[in-house]
Structure 1
Amino acid sequence: MRFPPVGVDQVLGLLKIIHNLGGRADAMYVNDAVDADMGDLSHVVDAAEALGLVKAQGGDLELTAEGRLAVERPVREFQKRLRDKLGSLEPFASLLKFITEAGRVEFEEALKFIQSLGYDADSAKKIIDWAVFAQLVEIDDGDWVVPA
Structure 2
Amino acid sequence: MGVDQVLGLLKVVHNMGGRVDAMFVNDAVDVDLGDLSHVIDAAEMLGLLKAGGGDVELTEEGRAAVEMPLREFQKYLKKKLPSVEPFSSLVKLVTSKERVELEELVSYLQGLGYDERGARRILNWAVFAQLVEIDDGEWVIPA
TM surpasses 0.5: yes
* Shift >3 Å, 4+ stretches: none
Following TM superposition, by how much is the alpha carbon of 1:128 offset from its aligned partner in structure 2, in angstroms? 0.2
The residue that corresponds to 1:87 in the other structure is: 82
Question: Whose relative contact order is higher, 1 or 2, with alpha carbons under 8 Å and at least 6 apart?
Answer: 1
Higher helix share: 2
Q: TM-score, normalised by structure 2?
A: 0.97
Cα distance in 1 for partners of 2:93, 2:7 equals: 27
The residue that corresponds to 1:138 in the other structure is: 133
Following TM superposition, by how much is the alpha carbon of 1:38 offset from its aligned partner in structure 2, in angstroms? 2.3
**Does structure 1 residue 98 correspond to structure 2 residue 98?**
no
Following TM superposition, by how much is the alpha carbon of 1:15 offset from its aligned partner in structure 2, in angstroms? 0.3
Give, as a single letter, the amino acid of the residue that structure 2 aligns with 1:102: K
C-alpha deviations, 1:28-79, integer Å up to 9, x for none? 1101221222221111101100000001121111100000111101111111
Give, as a single letter, the amino acid of the residue that structure 2 aligns with 1:105: V
**Does structure 1 residue 71 correspond to structure 2 residue 58?**
no
SS of equivalent residue, structure 1 residue 55 = strand
Following TM superposition, by how much is the alpha carbon of 1:142 offset from its aligned partner in structure 2, in angstroms? 1.2
Cα distance in 2 for partners of 1:25, 1:37 equals: 18
**Structure 2: tracts of 5 or more residues without a match:** none
SS of equivalent residue, structure 2 residue 112 = coil
| RMSD across aligned positions (CA) | 0.8
The percentage of counterpart residues that share the same residue type is 69
2:26 to 15, 28, 31: 31
Provide the aligned length of Structure 1 versus Structure 2.
Answer: 143
Q: TM-score, normalised by structure 1?
A: 0.94
| Aligned pairs (5 A) from 1:44-55 | 44-55=39-50
The residue that corresponds to 1:113 in the other structure is: 108
Following TM superposition, by how much is the alpha carbon of 1:9 offset from its aligned partner in structure 2, in angstroms? 1.0
